Amino acid sequence: MKISKYWKAVVATLATGAGGLSTAMNDDTVTSAEASTILIAVVTAAVATWAVPNRDKGEA
């Protein structure tokens, strides 16, 4: 198992979570509605990114 093929999903998930959390923290608090929106966005980004196969090195 190579970790390299999982990196795009990890990066997409972290970027989505960080972006959502930084937006929610503008007022120094995270409400339950904001938290659920962040969770939905993170799960959606992870699943959508995971579903797209990586390109082979031979393809350009």
- Answer whether residue 57 is part of any domain: no
In this prediction, residues 21-48 reach a mean pLDDT of 94
Indicate if the pLDDT at residue 1 is higher than 60.
Answer: no
Q: What is the pLDDT of residue 3?
A: 58
8 A C-beta contact, residue 54 and residue 7: no
In this prediction, residues 19-24 reach a mean pLDDT of 94
pTM: 0.78
Q: Which candidate, 14, 12, 13, 17, places its Cα nearest to that of 38? A: 17
Q: What is the pLDDT of residue 56?
A: 72
Encoded tokens for 30: 């995270």
Work out the pLDDT band at 6, boundaries 50, 70, 90: confident
What is the domain extent for residue 17?
A: 3-51
- Answer whether residue 12 is part of any domain: yes
Q: Domains in the chain: how many in total?
A: 1
In this prediction, residues 23-47 reach a mean pLDDT of 94
